[in-house]
Structure 1
């Protein structure tokens, strides 16, 4: 059954996931407004537009007034804009926390004039919850683990600010926490695929750990469904809810619809893999065989620290920082999407093999490999 047509604003629309989401929302019959900065490259968004340009709203996360204009007269906001790479927590917080506060201030400003959205879908990260237990995937009601990565802590702080702001402003809020995302138009995971193309797969740590992944197109479809059908965060704090300081033991899988995780959704391809398996499947998609090289923790941390120092000198955040090194050496980033499948009638199109074949095909077609 199709959802009622709505007008949606997508922040971070010029990015990898944002461009896919704009495309999916249009295909589902919705009117799309793409929020971009004046300095944004629009090539990904243009690919998603397929020759029929989206309405653009020029605004930035540090400018409340420009965002108030962007959110005026829309029904839903899909908030994807944020920082996935920074040198330190301050750099992450500027976009992932302060930016969230500014967005909700803009929404309050628009709603004061009867023009603001009724619902916000906040796209966060699995890392906001913290690592998974080695023997059990994370579910939405599992309690948070802090102080593992700066990125994850900033995303969790952004979620908490969004929850408080939405309740004050009487706005429905739903949170999506993706795992590793890859696919056409992506640049971050491209480094892993290029390494596989060189027949080398680096495994952080001496033992593999579980991880979840999802193709960008599938994630965009899931996010759209969350906007249409997802259950929002409770307006009043549910006893023991993860955003009230509660939650269950991550070692115990627990019930799919445990109310302590209400309003949160994980989206995955339904598989579990490891960094080594991801690299080996990427190599197979390239028609090659690769060697997996386990790297001791001290080596991963040392490279991350060295890269970070060199990156500061160059003024560019490298692919592997000290924070990403810490993340790669954790107990794993594995989650379960049973709640999303039950609530949203959602299932992914791409498994990992098909997804990486699709990605490699796109990279070759665009002469990036």
Structure 2
């Protein structure tokens, strides 16, 4: 039986853990990476490396035909870009081309799992009593979220595709680099927040995300499904820092920065990056995302269909992440 899986975005943070989980499940992994990607951290897995050209459907068809894949996990994407056109090109257009190539190639495709994001739906108001569900009306507040939603719409139009869509909330864990910025700030003694309004946040530890993604890949399914993924809890805005304090023994100073000051800084950073090929770390959309009041989502669908049982709450996940950062000299 062909148990070969193509994992795109394999050199990234989530990709690393997807490879680990897929091999644990007995799958033969082909890791799709860029020729310029650093893959030294993947060599212990000994995957087959492939180098797709996502903008060329014929090249994708050739790669898929040669790989003869039964499964595809499409995790590659842009989390930072200069504008909506750049996000859409990578996150939506490339996704559509890969899916179309899979349908137009004679491979024994059993399941195509698309790694979307809860950002495709957007947040709720803090006063909303019901969490975000798979049927919540999408209202993304960032170009990133809109590009993921566009990708979902493209895939929905391909009715023959055996599709499962995964929408994780904020993902953290070993090798993650964005939430790691918060770790560095906390480690230096500063616990900073934007504004003072209450928030309801959600997180998922990367190992839980990888496990449920592979479960979605292998579960005998008819039709098409979408699952929101978190650890199942709603956290206040201080929970991550409080977990950090508990494991590190440190007590960083807590400060609240005015929203207006961050918006001004974001405007300045965007202006400064006008002629740079690199998008700024903080922009106006990032401020909107960080100040959104309610990202709590339901995971009942994944629990019911995939028997998803998260093994990590925030405290346990932060403890393991902290230990990894320390052991690998990131902190």
Q: How would you bin the TM-score normalised by the shorter chain? A: over 0.9
2:109 match: 117
1:182 match: 172
Q: CA–CA distance in 1 between the matches of 2:54 and 2:2?
A: 27
1:289 equivalent in alignment to 2:251:
yes
**Which secondary structure does the structure 2 equivalent of 1:176 belong to?**
strand
Q: Pairwise mapping of residues 108-187 of structure 1 onto structure 2 (< 5 A)?
A: 108-110=103-105, 114-115=106-107, 117-134=109-126, 135-146=129-140, 148-165=141-158, 167=159, 170-187=160-177
CA RMSD of aligned residues (A): 1.9
More deviation, 15-24/296-305: 296-305
In the alignment, is the contact (CA less than 8 A) between 1:177 and 1:264 conserved in 2?
Answer: yes
1:92 match: 87
Q: CA deviation at 1:15?
A: 0.6
Change in Cα spacing, 1:190 to 1:312, as seen in structure 2 (3 Å) is: farther
After superposition, give the CA deviation of every residue in 1:56-113 in whole Å (9 maximum; x if it has no partner).
1111322323322333311111010111111211121110111112112321332xxx
Q: Pairwise mapping of residues 25-40 of structure 1 onto structure 2 (< 5 A)?
A: 25-40=22-37
Change in Cα spacing, 1:281 to 1:311, as seen in structure 2 (3 Å) is: farther
- List runs of 5+ in structure 2 lacking aligned partners: none
More deviation, 121-130/331-340: 331-340
1:228 equivalent in alignment to 2:218:
yes
Change in Cα spacing, 1:174 to 1:232, as seen in structure 2 (3 Å) is: farther
Change in Cα spacing, 1:143 to 1:231, as seen in structure 2 (3 Å) is: farther
Q: CA deviation at 1:142?
A: 1.4
Q: CA–CA distance in 2 between the matches of 1:156 and 1:52?
A: 32
Counting matched residue pairs gives 327
After superposition, give the CA deviation of every residue in 1:175-196 in whole Å (9 maximum; x if it has no partner).
1000000100111111011111
1:238 match: none
Q: CA–CA distance in 2 between the matches of 1:213 and 1:264?
A: 18
In the alignment, is the contact (CA less than 8 A) between 1:174 and 1:226 conserved in 2?
Answer: yes
- List runs of 5+ in structure 1 lacking aligned partners: 235-262
Change in Cα spacing, 1:44 to 1:69, as seen in structure 2 (3 Å) is: farther
2:235 match: 273
Q: CA–CA distance in 2 between the matches of 1:41 and 1:173?
A: 30
In the alignment, is the contact (CA less than 8 A) between 1:178 and 1:266 conserved in 2?
Answer: yes
Query: What TM-score comes out, normalization by structure 1 length?
Result: 0.83
**Which secondary structure does the structure 2 equivalent of 1:293 belong to?**
strand
Q: Pairwise mapping of residues 335-346 of structure 1 onto structure 2 (< 5 A)?
A: 335-346=297-308
2:199 match: 209
In the alignment, is the contact (CA less than 8 A) between 2:10 and 2:19 conserved in 1?
Answer: yes
1:328 equivalent in alignment to 2:290:
yes
Query: What TM-score comes out, normalization by structure 2 length?
Result: 0.93
**Which secondary structure does the structure 2 equivalent of 1:97 belong to?**
helix
In the alignment, is the contact (CA less than 8 A) between 1:58 and 1:66 conserved in 2?
Answer: no
**Which secondary structure does the structure 2 equivalent of 1:273 belong to?**
coil
Q: CA deviation at 1:350?
A: 1.4
More deviation, 22-31/272-281: 272-281
